[in-house]
Chain A
């Protein structure tokens, strides 16, 4: 079976010098892949390029066998790609329920959308208790649940997650990571996870990709990453 996502020679940035230099990587199906690296390594830029918010200047992105060249951002969710952006992206002015329904609005099949919504409420009981609360009334952990849940309402094949642990207590981070592992094992969800928090990311990831200054320096099994002391010292700081 082909990989869920193939990135070949991608160059991208925000005008001026590129942030990503010739990035090539592959995301296998049904697994959690963690993208690791210091601040400024280009992890967030990578996700923004994958979800079409940034157009690559060169290179190819193949998602589920189809080249994404020229596909607008708004169409990607229908193809099964969900991106939870940095800072969680909860629409704070809308209620929990509105945020979640927004995740399924693109669906023609309203019954499937309602079903997915019900499943998300089952998965995150705290959200079910706070349906009518506005996004800005939620705690950091609840917001992360909401952003994650909203992505799941779209029943994605590939989930791009940008720093889910940001600002969360270690216990909450552990819960989120455990949930990702559970989704992978139960539904075969593919996850591409960007993290500063290397330990918690590698606790669930099957593969790890280490980035530095806009390039991929290592891509290997996470077991190997955990074992390689030199690599950890050089790029991951532990």
Chain B
């Protein structure tokens, strides 16, 4: 029973990061119908920015600069590259995304080298005893708090603000939105910026729990979060969050009870099961989209 509680909390902590990363994928998918395959690589770039800033100053300044770098990077990628494939067949955007991954990983390797670098956590990752059980570390609490905060901020942005209403309208009905005076191009840029910032946050949270900072440090997180987004239906922000937590839990139980070797297989089994039972994802609306 103790083990189950421990694995559950561990899964929730990992799942929170997957949820954030899946949410970033869904944000872009909803507005552009593009799966941003470069999202992991973009997050790694911001983590390296944080690494350099932290080395010169403090962790938290590096953290803030990484989030800001995510905003800028997302906007630059949309304006500079993705804008030219948004109207093209879907494969174009996939190819461009994968090209960006290669470009970014190559460039980071040239600048920083291909060694794993120690990437610190801001607070202790040692679990505190709660009722004689080592359960939650201060770091887990930072992870939960920051992911919850970001999700709350995004929810408020999208449902309570004028710019959020514009963003949703631009995503659902670009032409009608333009007729109503919404500058759809700007909304897309903003969406990419927000998504890359959320991705940067997820990267900052998850990299200290892995082997360290490396140009490919987010590759596996990307695959796992992609699965989470598919589980959630890809069109639903709530689905992405639930999918992320679910995937985090499943992976934690599988790792804990059956060994870490089975973890990647478990991701795929989960993905397959969802696709078989509800191909559109668990949270997809049942209504067909108007084209």
Contact = CB atoms under 8 A, between A and B. Distances in A.
Interface of A: 51, 53, 73-78, 82-83, 85, 89, 91-94, 98, 101-103, 105-106, 136, 150, 154
Interface stretch (B37-45, B97-105, B145-153, B164-172): B164-172
Given A74-B183, A91-B172, A91-B173, A105 B166 contact: yes
Interface string B170-188: 0011011111111110000
Given A91-B169, A94-B169, A102 B179 contact: no
A60 B290 CA distance: 34
Contact of B179 (A85, A93, A94): A85
Contacts of A98: 165, 168-169
Contacts of B175: 53, 85, 89
A102 B182 contact: yes
A76 B179 CA distance: 8
A154 B172 CA distance: 20
Interface in B50-103: none
What is the size category of the interface that chain B forms with chain A? 10 to 19
Contact of B181 (A77, A92, A136): A77
Contacts of B169: 91, 94, 98, 102
B29 to A, nearest CB: 14
A78 B181 contact: yes
Given A74-B182, A102-B182, A89 B173 contact: yes
B180 A105 contact: yes
B181 A89 contact: no
A105 B181 contact: yes
Contact of A106 (B168, B176, B180): B180
Nearest to A107: B181
26 contacts: A51-B179, A53-B175, A74-B181, A77-B179, A77-B180, A77-B181, A82-B179, A83-B179, A85-B176, A85-B179, A91-B173, A91-B176, A92-B172, A93-B168, A94-B168, A98-B165, A98-B169, A102-B165, A102-B169, A102-B182, A105-B165, A105-B180, A105-B182, A106-B181, A106-B182, A154-B181
Contacts of A51: 179
Given A85-B179, A154-B181, 6 more contacts: A73-B179, A74-B183, A89-B173, A89-B176, A102-B177, A105-B162
A101 B184 CA distance: 17
A101 B172 contact: no
A154 B181 CA distance: 10
A136 B287 contact: yes
B181 A53 contact: no
Q: Which 4 A-B pairs have the closest CB atoms?
A: A106-B181, A77-B181, A89-B176, A91-B173
A76 to B, nearest CB: 8
Given A101-B165, A102-B165, A102-B169, A75 B181 contact: yes
A85 B174 CA distance: 13
B181 A93 contact: no
A139 B176 CA distance: 19
Contacts of B290: 92
Contacts of A82: 179
A83, A91, A106, A154 pick with most chain B CB within 10 angstroms: A91
A131 to B, nearest CB: 14
Nearest to B235: A93
